A and B are shown apart, each in its own frame.
Chain A
Amino acid sequence: MYVSRRMLLGCAVVAGLGAALSTVASTAAQAWEPKKPVEFVIMAGQGGGADKMARLLQTVIEKNGWASKPLTPINKPGGSGAEALIHLNGKASSDPDHTIMVTLNSFYTTPLRQPNLKVDIATFTPIARMAEDTFLLWVHKDSGIKNVDDFVAKAKAAGSDWIMAGTGKLQEDQLLTDFLNAAYDLEMKYVPYKGGGAVAKQLAGQHANSTVNNPSEQEGFYKSGDTVPLAAFTTERINIFPDAPTFKELGKDFVYLMQRSVVGAPGMSDEAASYYQALFQKVFESPEWQDYRNKRALQGAFMSGDELKAYWMTERENHRQMLEKMGAL
């Protein structure tokens, strides 16, 4: 039973030899166990996509009894995740082995924008990429907007009175807003909120004209028919929103996904890193997580170790270019 499980694990790893080696390494290092409750930092506010996911991960682990010490989630939404990054950075010298974080794309943008934070994500410990979340353009059903053409026409007419609500300053949502403004020659006004939950509420209450929420953030309002997805920032259509075309289909070659990854504090010992990597691989393969991925139409395969770090470096470069284009650097 044990052997076949290992083999299964090995097969599931996409990256082949490198990752298989790390699986072996993690088997050897199983001896390491956390000595106290593990701080599970969430780089965003309560109720948003990142928050819900973090709490799901925590509960899957606790439900199955996979960790000897509990994970205690802490929200640190301040400054587009800067608060969380600094917190992790600070752990490098004190206790790097008991702090992990659920992270998003502000993992790239915030350190780029604020070099004075002295955070270099290359020093952070890659644990696991659990998924890539998708973005869609949303409007309220009472706006009467049915497709992107309607949207562009109305937003153009409204000029800077068109309000786009989003999470945080100069991060994912604002990058997408900026893309839309540039691609369709719009002047939408971007208003930052604390988390995806608050943003979704702004649209449902019609205090904002549009948002670029993740599916999980709009799910409730979409189900009740209050909000409508117009188009997706993905390569392929998202299966739960078959009527929303991709921007690619509409002739704009723009794809933007949000990583849902787990990262460890800089300076984490190899033993601890292997422990968390193995733990989150187990979570990734659990029926609960797979079910969540399907329901929320999450994309992106499992990634860990050096492969994940390489992915981070590519994404950081992409974001640097986007921010430079916006004149934000």
Chain B
Amino acid sequence: MEILQHLFDGFLIAFQPLNIGLVVLGVIVGLFIGAMPGLGSVNGVAILVPMTFLVPPTSAIIFLAAIYYGAMYGGAISSIMLGIPGASTAVATTFDGRPLALKGLADKALVAAAVASFFGGTLSVILFTGFAPPLAAVALSFGDQEIFALMLLAFATFVGLSGDDIPKTIFSIAIGLVLSTVGFDIISGEPRLVLFEISGFLSQINFLVLAIGIYGIGEMLWTIEVSRGNSMMSKAVITVDRMLANMKEVMGTWKIATTSSLLGYFVGILPAAGATPGSLMAYGVAKMTHKNGENFGKGEVAGVVAPEAANNAASTGSMLPMLTLGIPGSPTTAILLGAMVIWGITPGPTLFIDEPELVWGLTASLYVANFFALLANIFLIPVFLWVLRMPFTILAPVIFALSIIGGYAATQRLHDVWLMLVFGVVGYLLRKLDYPLAPAVLAIVLGPIAEQKLRQSLIISDGDLTTFVTRPISGTITVIAIFLILMPVFKMIRDRLRRGTDSAA
């Protein structure tokens, strides 16, 4: 009950006029930053850090956290409306959000994104309130082997899906993995795959460049071909009845939302991962467990709910190691950490005792930020839909321009703009050939983490692969992952057996 008392004190802080004003402002700013392709919470928080010196540290962190939060909601908007991921964390939202919009169901996707974000955000704040210190200990107990096993599981969810063409999925993952090795290798300190000796390839390919290329440019080309100049953008409308029906349908996905939130939260807690891998993994798991799994990627509400619940949960999750261990769980929290150091606050295991006002004020403000972001999103839906009613002849150049800006904004290198255009064209061709592209995006995000953790584990174990199965946590996860990878084989055998018995009968 001590916790409830702390939380109550926190709400008193969060409801101070200055703080509540900052939450509202932060959420709105974050929403817009998140919705702009290429700009994500990292950029928003980094740009606004200096402004926080005008207010006390508690208000400052509340403001920055509200931006972080708002951006998580906002990222979904351009993913759904334009098919360009608004932020790295919203890449998985395009997988189903975009097809829904094309079917004229953008309102449904937007409601799903907002409600799922709220759900994921709130559930994770509750977990944060109740179990921050013990969860921090769990995060610490994850070593290299465990994180590698987790990455393996993420890949497995994408391979072991029924419905998709498995060789093509593996091919797509392979492309992503190869691209993810471009640049410098941390472990040997040597450059790798400097393609055509172009110096731009000396550093890693930013995965947002790949995602914007595939989903922005590639999608635009695809739509142009399919529509042949018709202004075929959806006639999405919104009425109160439709809104209620949407709500009802979204509520039906609460199971997916819960598992995704928990998964996202957990991945967010682990240092080195963050909200982007969290949302991709949640998408994979949802696709595998949902009864309409084979419809994922074609416009399934659950396919929007899963990544959106997960990325909000992960963003709260990634604050946990930052506050309790002083280790950022995501790039954005790294910046928050830097800001706290300057305010004279030392994040770490003793923070909860040293700075209760800051910790509980922040926690309470997250509840408020979630609630406000949900309201803002729902009420802005008519505005977003208006964008969709524009003819595609206007929308296509807008998407093109936003993609170019987004590709440049992510890294500020012209090299990446060219790369993005190439990815766009290649992505379009692969799509025509029916290759799933989401696995490539997954691979370029998770590949570098998986590779480093694999090699670090093997250095520690002297190259002994059994290190992954002899440790209890990594062993369990590895076995599940292997089972998932083999699932299509089991299915084939089962089908064959059944056919055998059928013909015998």
Give the residues in chain B near A202, CB-CB below 8 Å.
143
B213, chain A: closest CB distance, angstroms: 21
Q: How far is the CA of A202 from the CA of B141 in the complex (A)?
A: 9
Q: Which residue of B lies closest to A220 (CB)?
A: B348
Instruction: Let me know if A223 and B349 touch, CB within 8 A.
Output: yes
Taking a contact as CB atoms closer than 8 A, the residue among B189, B203, B337, B456 that contacts A47 in the complex is: B337
Contact A59 B49 (CB under 8 A): yes
Within 8 Å of chain B (Cβ to Cβ): is A192? Answer: yes
Report the minimum CB–CB distance from A76 to chain B (whole Å): 7
Which of A47, A86, A110, A205 contacts B140, CB < 8 Å?
A205
Give the one of B140, B272, B326 with max A CB within 10 A: B326
Given A220-B350, A221-B348, A59:B331 Cβ within 8 A: no
Using a CB-CB cutoff of 8 Å, which residues 193-239 of chain A contact chain B? Answer: 193-194, 197-198, 200-202, 204-205, 207, 219-221, 223-224, 226
Query: A192 near B203 (CB under 8 angstroms)?
Result: no
- Segment of A20-28, A50-58, A121-129, A176-184 in the binding face: A50-58
Q: Which residue of A lies closest to B449 (CB)?
A: A194
**Distance from A266 Cβ to chain B, minimum over Cβ atoms (Å):** 15
What mask results when residues 52 to 92 of chain A are scored 1 for a CB within 8 Å of chain B, else 0? 10011001101100000010111011111011001100100
Q: Tell me the residues in window 179-201 of chain B with beta carbons closer than 8 Å to chain A beta carbons.
A: 183-191, 199
Nearest opposing residue in chain A for B183, CB measure: A78
A290 close to B (CB within 8 Å): no
Measured between C-beta atoms, what is the minimum distance from A77 to chain B in Å?
7
Within 8 A of A (CB), among B200-245: 202-204
Q: Contact at B349–A52, with CB atoms within 8 Å?
A: no
**Residues of B contacting A205 with CB < 8 Å?**
140-143
Q: Which residues of A contact B339 (CB under 8 A)?
A: 55, 59
Q: Report if A78-B184 is in contact (Cβ < 8 Å); known contacts: A47-B334, A168-B189.
A: yes
Give B162 Cβ to nearest chain A Cβ, in Å: 36
Per the bound structure, the CA–CA distance linking A191 and B462 in Å amounts to: 11
B301-343 contacts to A, CB under 8 A, are: 325-328, 331, 334-335, 337-339, 341-342
Q: Which residues of A contact B341 (CB under 8 A)?
A: 52, 55-56, 292
Please determine whether B188 and A169 come into contact, CB atoms closer than 8 angstroms: yes
Considering the complex, give the chain A residue whose CB is closest to the CB of B50: A62
A207 touches B144 (CB 8 A): yes
* Interface presence of B490 (CB below 8 A): no
Asked whether A170 lies within 8 Å of B184 as measured between CB atoms, the reply is no
* Cβ B183 vs Cβ A83 within 8 A: yes
Beyond A168-B186, A220-B325, A223-B348, whether A59 also contacts B50 by CB under 8 A is yes
Contacts of A86 in B (CB 8 A): 199, 202-203
One digit per residue, 1 when the CB lies within 8 angstroms of any chain A CB and 0 when it does not, for chain B 170-186 equals 00000000000001111
Residues on A with C-beta less than 8 A from B346 are 219-220, 223
* Contact between A221 and B183, CB atoms less than 8 A apart: no
A197–B271 CB distance below 8 A: yes
If the complex has contacts A83-B202, A201-B271, are A56 and B189 also in contact, measured as CB distance less than 8 A? Answer: no
Tally of contact residues, B, Cβ under 8 A? 49
Cβ < 8 Å to B, chain A residues 1-48: 39, 46-47
Find B327's partner among A113, A168, A200, A223 (CB 8 Å cutoff): A200
Given A80-B189, A197-B271, answer yes or no on A55-B342 (Cβ-Cβ < 8 Å).
Answer: yes
Contact B189 A110, beta carbon cutoff 8 Å: yes
Minimal beta-carbon separation of A119 from chain B (angstroms): 11
- In the assembled complex, the Cα of A79 lies from the Cα of B350 at a distance in Å of 34
| A321 lies within 8 A of chain B by Cβ | no
B199 to A169, Cβ gap below 8 A? Answer: no
A207 and B143 in contact, given A60-B342, A63-B53 (Cβ under 8 angstroms): yes
Q: CB of A288 within 8 A of chain B?
A: yes
Give the CA-CA distance A200 to B272 in the complex, in Å: 13
**B1 on the interface (CB 8 Å rule)?**
no
Residue-wise interface mask of A (95-116) relative to B, using a CB-CB cutoff of 8 A (1 in contact, 0 not): 0000000000000001001100
Are A201 and B459 in contact, with the CB atoms below 8 A?
Answer: no
| Chain A, range 263-292, C-beta contacts under 8 Å to B | 288, 291-292
- Contact B349–A78 (Cβ < 8 Å): no
Q: How far is the CB of A175 from chain B (nearest CB, A)?
A: 13
Is A90 touching B143 in the complex (CB atoms < 8 A)? no
State whether A201 touches B140 (Cβ < 8 A).
yes
Nearest CB in chain B to that of A205: its residue? B140
Using CB atoms, name the residue of chain A closest to B462.
A160
A244 located at the interface, meaning its Cβ lies under 8 Å from any Cβ of chain B in the complex: no
Q: Are B342 and A288 in contact (CB under 8 A)?
A: yes
In angstroms, Cα B190 to Cα A113, docked, is 10
Query: Is there a chain A Cβ closer than 8 Å to B452's Cβ?
Result: yes
Check B350–A55 contact: CB distance below 8 A.
Answer: no
Q: Which residue of B lies closest to A87 (CB)?
A: B203
> Which 7 pairs between the two chains have the least Cβ-Cβ distance?
A220-B348, A79-B184, A55-B338, A224-B349, A78-B184, A62-B50, A46-B334
Residues on B lying within 8 angstroms of A by beta carbon are 46-47, 49-50, 53, 140-144, 183-191, 199, 202-204, 271-272, 325-328, 331, 334-335, 337-339, 341-342, 344, 346-350, 412, 452, 456, 459-460, 462
- Point out residues on A near B: beta carbons under 8 Å: 39, 46-47, 51-52, 55-56, 59-60, 62-63, 70, 72-74, 76-80, 82-83, 86-87, 90, 110, 113-114, 160, 163, 168-170, 189, 191-194, 197-198, 200-202, 204-205, 207, 219-221, 223-224, 226, 288, 291-292
A55-B341, A77-B186 known, 8 other contacts, Cβ within 8 Å: A47-B327, A56-B341, A59-B339, A63-B50, A63-B53, A191-B459, A201-B140, A219-B346
Can you pick out 13 interface pairs between chain A and chain B where the beta carbons lie within 8 Å of each other? A39-B412, A55-B335, A55-B338, A63-B342, A79-B189, A79-B190, A80-B189, A163-B460, A192-B186, A219-B326, A223-B346, A223-B349, A291-B344
